[in-house]
């Protein structure tokens, strides 16, 4: 039987709709408008595209969007001063510093300068610790999007065997924490894992976050398993030009899996939707209001 294709584009549109509804209520009932500040340093073309689309979607859901574009040669102290200003600005509930930063900047120091309650990327060391100890955290957007899709498809994840391939701080590790929080039995596989195909074959849920085009093959997948493909890899097409593929070999995996996310149109669109959800969550928490429903871990 062919796998169910988990349509991240449609799901993300639904999440943005939920955010927009709850933003409208906040405005009407409490006269509060959530605000997101995005800081971009330098001219990285991919980052410029992301920042533009974040700004556009922030406005579309009714939030205030602020963009700060700094020159690549900006001294680190100036960026830290801007972050301090945003930390103390009551109209800003979420702060995102677009990565990567230029080489002369220390990413850890910059991220840890953001007030944890406004750290909508969930990368601040306090949020990492809160997530790791099962406390209320700001949760990294991409793994949060994967979790939402998994909950939507499976209902309860309790007791399922999950294998996360990749141990990055941005995707792999927080993904594993979230799955553990939903009572999965979690294995984190990585570049040194022995017999990776055998490890993956045990999984009811496979999350691939590696950055290697079509590495996960259909004969690694347990029949009926769910494959969440986080990878975004640009490859050459035989006829010329390029296209995007995931970390899973879509056709062979879809022939065995119960459900699978495509690339593009799977996990990708969920990341910005979850950024907006996190900004709304941060705004509610800052104002002592109940958490938005269905939009948190
Ligand atoms: P990363 O390079 O920081 O981490 C990759 C991980 O893969 C490492 O932990 C490494 O141990 C593991 N790995 C490398 N080779 C391996 C192998 N042969 N076998 C098993 N594991 C191996 O990457 P990242 O930031 O976690 O991103 C992973 C992928 O997800 C990339 O393609 C990236 O573009 C994509 N991504 C997508 C989104 C999104 O919005 N959809 C967000 C973030 C990252």
Q: Is the pLDDT of residue 78 over 80?
A: yes
Whether residue 263 sits in one domain with residue 154: yes
Whether residue 232 sits in one domain with residue 173: yes
Q: Which helix (H) or strand (E) holds 82?
A: helix 76-87
Contact 231, 212 (CB under 8 A): yes
Whether residue 256 sits in one domain with residue 196: yes
Distance CA 274, CA 140 (A): 8
Nearest-CA residue for ligand 1 atom 13 is 191
Could you identify the residue written with the tokens 């085009």?
Answer: 213
pLDDT of 1 reads 61
Whether residue 147 sits in one domain with residue 54: no
* Mean pLDDT of all residues belonging to the chain: 97
Whether residue 86 sits in one domain with residue 179: no
Whether residue 256 sits in one domain with residue 147: yes
pLDDT of 259 reads 98
Using alpha carbons, select from 265, 231, 256, 260 the residue that is nearest to residue 245: 231
Q: What's the CATH code of the domain at 71?
A: 3.40.50.10860
Contact 245, 263 (CB under 8 A): yes
Please give the distance, rounded to the nearest whole angstrom, from the Cα atom of residue 171 to the centre of ligand 1: 7
Inside any domain, residue 190: yes
Model's pTM, two decimal places?
0.98
Inside any domain, residue 264: yes
Q: Is the pLDDT of residue 31 over 90?
A: yes
Nearest atom within ligand 1 for CA of residue 233 = 32
pLDDT of 196 reads 98
Q: Is the pLDDT of residue 205 over 80?
A: yes
pLDDT of 2 reads 85
Inside any domain, residue 293: no
Domain count for the chain, please give it: 2
Q: Is the pLDDT of residue 113 over 70?
A: yes
Structure confidence by residue, pLDDT tens digits, 150-192: 999 999 999 999 999 999 999 999 999 999 999 999 999 999 9
Instruction: Name the residue range of residue 40's domain.
Output: 30-115
Whether residue 147 sits in one domain with residue 255: yes
pLDDT of 204 reads 98
């Amino acid at each position: 039987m062919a796998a169910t294709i988990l349509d991240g584009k449609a799901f993300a549109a639904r999440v943005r709709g939920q955010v927009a509804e709850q933003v409208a209520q906040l405005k009407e009932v409490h006269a509060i408008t959530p605000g997101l500040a995005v800081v971009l340093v330098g001219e990285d073309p991919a980052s410029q595209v992301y920042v533009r689309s974040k700004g556009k979607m922030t406005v579309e859901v009714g939030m205030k969007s602020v963009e700060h574009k700094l020159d690549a040669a900006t001294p680190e102290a100036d960026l830290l001063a801007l972050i301090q200003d945003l930390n103390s600005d009551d109209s800003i509930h979420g702060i995102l510093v677009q990565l990567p930063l230029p080489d002369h900047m220390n990413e850890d120091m910059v991220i840890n300068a953001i007030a944890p309650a406004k750290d909508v990327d969930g990368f601040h060391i306090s949020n990492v610790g809160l997530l790791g100890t099962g406390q209320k955290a700001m949760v990294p957007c991409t793994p949060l999007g994967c979790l939402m899709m998994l909950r939507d498809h499976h209902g309860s994840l309790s007791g399922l065997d999950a294998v996360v391939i990749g141990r990055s701080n941005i995707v792999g590790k927080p993904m594993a924490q979230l799955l553990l929080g939903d009572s999965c039995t979690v294995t984190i596989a990585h570049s040194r894992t022995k017999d990776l195909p055998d490890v993956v074959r045990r999984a009811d849920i496979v999350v691939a976050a590696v950055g290697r085009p079509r590495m996960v093959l259909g004969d690694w997948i347990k029949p009926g398993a769910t494959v969440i493909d986080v990878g975004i890899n640009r490859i050459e097409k035989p006829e010329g030009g390029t296209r995007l593929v995931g970390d899973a070999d879509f056709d062979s995996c879809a022939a065995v899996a119960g459900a699978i996310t495509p690339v593009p149109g799977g996990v990708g669109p969920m990341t910005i939707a979850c950024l907006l959800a996190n900004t709304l969550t941060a705004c509610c928490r800052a104002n002592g209001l109940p958490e938005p429903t269905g939009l948190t871990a």
